[in-house]
Amino acid sequence: MFECNSFYNMDCMEGMAQLPDKYFELAIVDPPYGLNLASLGEIGSANRPSSLRRNAKRVEVRQFKKSDFDKHPPDEAYFVELFRVSRNQIIWGANHFCNRFDFSSSGWIVWDKCRRGLDFADCEIAYSSFNKPMRIFEFRLNGFLSPVGGKYEPKIHINQKPVALYRWLLKNYAKPGDKILDTHVGSASSLIACYEMEHDYIGFELDKDYYAAASERLENAMKQKHLFSDGTGVCYS
């Protein structure tokens, strides 16, 4: 059995196979969409396909590790395991998985990036298993930096989402004491939010380089919170 508040460098399918049914109250996941963007190794480059570089001159070029981790979306077996080990789910990119699971939901979630007409999508969509009205979270990214506490946070992963988005999800969809699963941790934004909001979590990341970078980012966030707390876990920043 895995320990809570732990992050593992392993295939999430191997990890979930070792977990009992409905172990997590909530899974918040961002699996590969199958767009194969990571194989390009950069964002905002004029070398990208024309359909992805409509406004390339307006977009900063940022280098990332070339990889094929997002070449294919997860298969049906992934979703079977995900729904087995969790009671509720929030699944980013679900519009790319129409043939993978039942899409019936009243609680769709939209992240509005508050920017229009760039190379990237104006928003991202998540399926949720909650019987709630559809909600929109508005949060603007400034290029490859995310505003955090008045400062800007470098992007370490090509598919990185802001910590603020995960804080909002936990605030609106998780209850105190809920255990959270992230099967594709990526940049560790989800785990940072869980740590800050005192939710137990387990996370998996298969890529060893992204795992190392995400582990360092999570450790730094933990140190930062400790610096601005009174020693009881209450943060005054």
The number of domains in the chain is 1
Which pTM does this prediction carry? 0.81
Which residue segment(s) compose the domain that 209 sits in? 6-227
- Higher-confidence residue of 141 and 48: namely 141
pLDDT at res. 159: 83
Q: What is the pLDDT of residues 157-194, one digit of tens each?
A: 888 999 999 999 999 999 999 999 999 999 999 999 99
Rounded to a whole number, what is the distance in angstroms from the first to the last CA of the chain? 35
**The pLDDT of residue 216 is above 50:** yes
Q: What pLDDT, on the 0 to 100 scale, is given for residue 130?
A: 95
In a domain, 233, yes or no: no
Q: What is the pLDDT of residue 99?
A: 80
Residue environment code for 90-122, b if the CB has 16+ CB neighbours within 10 A, otherwise e: bbbbbebbeebbeeebebbbebebeeeeebbee
The answer to whether residues 233 and 198 touch, using CB atoms and an 8 Å cutoff, is yes
Is 234 inside a domain boundary? no
**Residue 63, in any domain of the structure:** yes
Given this model, what pLDDT does residue 89 score?
A: 97
Residue 65 has pLDDT above 60, yes or no: yes
98 Cβ neighbours under 8 A, 6+ residues apart: none
For residue 47, tell me if it sits in a domain.
yes
pLDDT band at 40 (very low <50, low <70, confident <90, very high): low
Which pLDDT score, from 0 to 100, does residue 25 have?
Answer: 98
Instruction: Count the Cβ atoms, other than its own, within 10 Å of residue 148.
Output: 14
Closest by alpha carbon to 145, among 187, 184, 190?
A: 187
Output the pLDDT for position 151: 56
CB 42 within 8 A of CB 78: no
Residue 6 pLDDT: 96
* Domain membership flag for residue 237: no
Summarize pLDDT for 78-98 with one digit per residue, the tens: 999 999 999 999 999 988 887
Lowest mean pLDDT among 56-70, 99-113, 159-173: 56-70
Give a yes or no: residue 208 inside a domain: yes
pLDDT-above-70 percentage for the chain = 73
Contact 31, 184 (CB under 8 A): yes
Residue 26's DSSP bridge partners are: 88, 180
- 17 pLDDT higher than 50: yes
What is the domain-level CATH number for residue 215? 3.40.50.150
